[in-house]
Amino acid sequence: MVVTFWGVRGSIPTPGPATCRYGGNTPCVTVEDGNTLIVIDCGSGIRVLGNSLLQRFNGNPVHAHILISHTHWDHIQGFPFFIPAFIPSNTFTIYGGEGVNHQIEDTLAGQMESPYFPVTLKEMAATLQFRHIDQPDFSIDHLKVKTCFLNHPGVSLGYKISSPDGSVVYFSDHEPYSRLMATPSRFKIAVENGLSEEENLRFAQERDAEYTRFCEGVDLLIEDSPYTPEEYKNRAGWGHACIDDVVAMAVAARVKQLALFHHDPSNSDEQMDGIVALCQTRLIPDDSNLTCFAAQEGQRVVVPAETEK
């Protein structure tokens, strides 16, 4: 499988000289194996993907599967600018969980209604097929897809895509439970709900262990990790992870490669270099073979890594 990062930034597009190396587009990743093309999320990076597909297919029909993690704006805002969806010969199958009181197509159509946008979803001339994910496992061609609910405000889905050769997990956006439940405000809620300190901690650890099992042994984990432990203190409950927890989970799950993802919009390229260096210090006492990097726009990752073949 080949994984390509088209947008890696969380929350809002952040173009400019400070972000030109890691990139400023919001989440969009492709996973390709043989003739199967899977797109994950439709942040502003999908506009760049669209232009690339126009060149590559050169008028031939494009058929792709689009998995939506959730419909927060940074994960769908690029869809109205995805040119291949305006071409009649193309077909896109769009998968998503049921949002809070909203079906996925209603939410995609909503952001294209007046007064937000001049063209409606119905005017997109490609065939758009919507599939509501109502079971944890399904297949796309020869690839197996497994889903899980992430810990994020609203409903957010994590995806594991497996071929006979390798596997990729996409966790964006997600906040691990253990550090969250230990923060004073959350701990207070747990106590008010009648949980003891031990029960609160056990609940958090059991939930996090489920995510570790989900990621066990995967070749590439793409995980939302915008905050340092220091920054996390003021952002607990926002639905995103702190770097230390993401690295610890990747090590515990014996993941081969970890791509830090959904970078904070305020982080410059230099700050991103610092975050990668911080992750390396967390790995020094560890004897796993985890490779850790911060995803960059345009980056391609072969799964499994070519040296393992």
Give the binding site for Zn ion (CB under 5 A).
10, 72, 74, 173
Q: Six-digit token pair at 60?
A: 């031939």
CB 262 to Zn ion: min, Å: 6
Return phi, psi of residue 247, to 5°.
-65, -45
Distance CA 112, CA 114 (A): 7
CB 19 to Zn ion: min, Å: 16
Q: Name the residue among 235, 261, 255 with its Cα closest to residue 179.
A: 235
Return phi, psi of residue 285, to 5°.
-80, 0
Q: Which is nearer to Zn ion, 74 or 219 (CB)?
A: 74
- Per DSSP, the three-state class of 269 is helix
Q: Name the residue among 26, 127, 34, 39 with its Cα closest to residue 77.
A: 26
CB 187 to Zn ion: min, Å: 24
Q: Which is nearer to Zn ion, 1 or 22 (CB)?
A: 22
- Per DSSP, the three-state class of 135 is coil
Distance CA 236, CA 167 (A): 30
Beta-sheet pairing, 291-294 with 257-261? parallel
CB 74 to Zn ion: min, Å: 4
Integer CA distances (angstroms), 15 to 25, 263, 272, 290, in order: 7, 13, 15, 30
Q: Which is nearer to Zn ion, 72 or 256 (CB)?
A: 72
Q: Which is nearer to Zn ion, 68 or 251 (CB)?
A: 68
At what angle are helices 243-252 and 197-214 packed, to 10 degrees? 60
CB 173 to Zn ion: min, Å: 4
Angle (CA) 257 262 266, round 5°: 125
Q: Which is nearer to Zn ion, 42 or 53 (CB)?
A: 42
Q: Which is nearer to Zn ion, 173 or 244 (CB)?
A: 173
CB 22 to Zn ion: min, Å: 16
CB 93 to Zn ion: min, Å: 23
Q: Which is nearer to Zn ion, 72 or 179 (CB)?
A: 72
How many Cβ atoms are within 10 Å of 152's Cβ, its own excluded?
Answer: 21
Minimal CB distance residue for Zn ion: 72
CB 43 to Zn ion: min, Å: 8
Contacts of 53 (CB under 8 A, 6+ apart): 62, 64, 84
CB 226 to Zn ion: min, Å: 9
Q: Six-digit token pair at 6?
A: 């088209």
Signed CA dihedral, 284, 288, 294, 299: sign only? positive
Q: Which is nearer to Zn ion, 54 or 155 (CB)?
A: 155
Return phi, psi of residue 50, to 5°.
-55, -45
Q: Which is nearer to Zn ion, 30 or 156 (CB)?
A: 156
